[in-house]
Amino acid sequence: MYNIFVYGTLKKEGCNHHFLKDSEFVKNEVLKDHSIYVPDLFNFPLLLEDEGGKVHGEIYKIDDNTLANLDMLESEGNLYNRINKDELDFQYYLFNDNGTWNIDRKKDKIDDGIWEV
């Protein structure tokens, strides 16, 4: 079993929450030193490292099958990288910003760290 932090379309009421339908909600959580961004024409948030930033999300306990499905959804290793830091009790998906997406870190940032589903 794994704990996964979700902050966008996977949250309760989000369009992709059905991927977590058989998973146990653990708690609400804030991920520090990260922010979420929504560039023009995007209908989902991108999570990036951002010193001093914060992102509000939810943690779910998931099984191997659900993790594999989330990896597929997030295009793990390409669009997003699944991060597993020793000091956190959960994993999360970090956007793979390779510089081609033209993310404006001021204009596109959701300042309060809350993605409204």
Place of tokens 């993605």: 115
Nearest partner of 33 among 45, 48, 51, judged by Cα: 51
Dihedral in degrees, nearest 10, Cα atoms 37, 49, 93, 74: 50
Is 74 assigned a catalytic role?
yes
Tokens at 81, concatenated: 């990288």
Active-site residue, selected from the candidate residues 49, 74, 87, 116: 74
| DSSP conformation class of 108 | S
The residues that are catalytic are 74
